[in-house]
Structures are given as structure tokens and as C-alpha cells.
Amino acid sequence: MTPLPIPPAAAVRDVSMRDGIQNIDQILPTGLKVELIEGLAAAGVRRIEATSFMNPKAVPNTADAEEVMRRIERRPGVRYEALVANLRGAERAVEAGCDGVQQVISLTDVHNRANVNRSIKQSLDQMREIAARVHRAEIPFSGAISLATGCPYTGRVPEENVYAMAGKYAALGVDEIFLCDSMGMGDPASMGRMVATLLDRWPEMDLVVHIHNTRGMGLANAAASLQAGAGVLDASLGGLGGCPFAPGASGNISSEDLVHMLSLMGVDIGVDLDALIALARKLGDALDTPLNSALLRAGKSFTTHPAPPGLLADDDARTEQDIGGLAERV
């Protein structure tokens, strides 16, 4: 059996300071947000979702969006992006100097109303205007398909609904599609299948995969998405995040866990893993609740530790001789 191909390179897009913080009870200081965003850029992350331009009453954790964008010391080659829900948000994002704007629409009316206070039709009606405004500023415009795998209120979402929405996005001027496993209901087979289908049907549009680790399948879904052809994956420092309008929602896949896995697989990410771990620790120190990062708990694979007392190096040498002899006999 031929294994599925592993891509030689991929990109991680960090969403810590938007999706990561939108569902926590405490408000992070603007200075810390700026420090973490600049740290991500210094670590080699080339796409950063720096904030969202939403109603501050609905999402108070990004009420300082303009100030965050103003205070960032920008690094060449890095895109500082933002999420919007309507034309007013897009205007604010453009005026703040964002390098990319993303509009999110859910695949069920009930969640779209809870998330952005609009029906799907109302959101789609505004999408053409948003795309035109963003493109006039010569900024890439992305459309996020939220709830691509399921809705917490209505259950499973048919895959054909994902493709129908992608077709609408293409017709309305979207440059890039975000396939969002927003509730963490996806599995490797379905995620790989959707990625492959989207790339096959709309090869002219770029694709980002946004995965939550709600049920522990995040990294498996990420690997399946990459093997199906996705080149960009969303992740968040420490696995922080979750939708504030979905019962039981939990965080994104962890940026450091994802980079660690891809590095072991031989995928070129171009990101300093130790720097990511340090940033996740800094974020964790500022939070009242623990982060969901395997690397923060266990450390990197193949990190050696002192042997228990009484075990000598000679024992290791004899063991290696025994194993070598065994290999020769086999």
C-alpha cells in the first residue's frame, strides 16, 4: 500500500489574538497582544490574524482592534489580518491598515444569527460590497465557511452545503476560502475529502484550513488536510480559542503542537518552535485558565532526561552490543 504523500512545505497562520482570545472571560492588555503578535512574526509566522473588527459589546476582547494594529511594529513579509462580519467592520479593517480581511458566514442560519446577528442571506448580500471595498484597497479578501463539519444546534452539515457556499463565495469575489471545522466535529476522512474537492472545483482560489481540537482529532485532521493538498493551516498559541456562541466549543489546534508534528514529519514550516513555546508560556502566564498544549505539558519529542540513579552508561553500551548482535543473527 502506497502511503499518502507528505508535502515538502506548509504554512501556519496563527489566530491567537483573535479566535484564541475571543472566548475567554478576561481582557488581555493591549500591550501583551502587541508583544505576542510581534513575537510570532519574529519566530517566522508569516500570516497572523491580529484582531477582529466586530461589535465591541459582542466581542469585548477585540474592542482595541484599531490600537493593536496601530501599535504593531510590522515585519516585512508578514501579513497582519483581521476578521469582519459586515461592511462597517471591513471599513474599519481597511482604515486600520490590515493586510488581509476575512468575512465569516456559518452554514446554518441559527448559528449565523448567534455569531454575527444576521441571516445567511443577509451576510451573503453584504459580501459583494465587502469584497469590493477590500479590493479597492488592494487587499486580499477571504471568505470563511464556518460550521463546515457540523452545527451545535442542528447537528451534521451535509458536505454539499460546503461546496454550495464555496460556489457563492467564488461568484461574490472571494480570493481565498477558509474551510472551518469550527466545532471540532470533523474527522480525517471528511476533512481530507472536503479539502481535495474544494481544490479540484475551485483551483483558482487559495485555501486555508481552520481546525478546532474539541474532540481530540485536531492534529489528525490537520495531517489529512495537508495530505489532501492544503498549504495553510490555522492554529493558536497554547490551543487557546473557541466560539463564544457555541455550547461546548473549545480551542484551536495548538500552534506549537502543529509545528512540532510537521517538523517531525519533515515538512518545512520555517518557524522557530522554541520561540513558539516561549510565547505560549508567556500567554499562559497571563491567563487564569490553563492552556491546552501537549508541548507545554510534555516537552518536545526526543528530549532526553537524566537516567535514574544506579543505571550506568556501561549498561547502555552492553545493551547496544546485544541489540547489534541480535540484528546480525536475524
Do 300 and 273 form a contact (C-beta atoms < 8 A)?
yes
Q: Give the catalytic positions in this structure.
A: 243
2: left (phi over 0), alpha (psi -120 to 50) or beta: beta
For residues 166 and 186, give the distance between their C-alpha atoms in angstroms, rounded to a whole number. Answer: 18
Residues in the chain: 330
Do 151 and 111 form a contact (C-beta atoms < 8 A)?
yes
Nearest to 67 by CA among 103, 29, 100: 29
For residues 39 and 33, give the distance between their C-alpha atoms in angstroms, rounded to a whole number. Answer: 10
The residue whose grid cell reads 494594529 is: 69
Nearest to 17 by CA among 44, 48, 47, 45: 48
Give 19's DSSP letter: I
For residues 107 and 143, give the distance between their C-alpha atoms in angstroms, rounded to a whole number. Answer: 12
